[in-house]
Amino acid sequence: LWIIAGSMMAVSGEIKFVFVGFAFQLVSQLAECSRAVMGEFVLSGAGLKLDPLSYTMFVAPTCLLVLIVGTAVTWDPRIPAAFLAWRSYILPNALLAFVLNVLVAATIKEVSAVGFILAGVCKDIVIVLFSWMFFGEQVTAQQALGFTVALTGVFFWSYLKVNPSSPTARCTERLLGLPAEKQPTENTPLVKDKV
């Protein structure tokens, strides 16, 4: 909740609500989160446990199909001429996209889908701060507070993942109404590992 609240606070300035833009953003975020969760399931879940290269090999044809449909729907007769004009940039761009997709799969496999999405939030904040420091973009106090709240939420989530048995984690579980750790019963073994 902190991360969502901080991200919402960081949005400032004139906000002109356009439903079409909102719909595109909503569908985009749902697709991104669904892709990350399904990627985590396929990469490290109880299912296939694919490596990042195999995952990319299975996902790439689906992405190509979506891009072909999108190109067909928005076809412009100038596309072939533009392709020929930019052909020397197409292969390096495709290789860069391939490497990015493999790195995304490796990140999801190592840190989970939630960790990947939170890394994206941190990346967005770093981009804005970089623009502020080096290009003189204006960052308001409300945005700075929003970034601080969002980063605090990310760091707190990271702390809970690293230290799940800490008193802070236990207190958070109680405050959120999460089920407490099961108390031992008469059927609970006294020694977990056999020697």
How much is the pLDDT for 125? 86
Whether pLDDT at 181 is above 70:
no
How much is the pLDDT for 134? 92
CB 90 within 8 A of CB 83: yes
Structure confidence by residue, pLDDT tens digits, 37-65: 888 888 887 667 888 999 899 888 988 99
In whole angstroms, how large is the CA radius of gyration of the chain?
22
- pLDDT band at residue 14 under the 50/70/90 scheme: very low
d(CA 173, CA 120): 26
How much is the pLDDT for 139? 82
Can you give the pTM of this predicted structure? 0.71
Whether pLDDT at 190 is above 70:
no
CB 35 within 8 A of CB 63: no
Amino acid at site 56: T
How much is the pLDDT for 88? 92
Structure confidence by residue, pLDDT tens digits, 85-120: 999 999 999 999 999 999 999 998 888 888 888 888
d(CA 72, CA 179): 51
Average pLDDT, the chain: 82
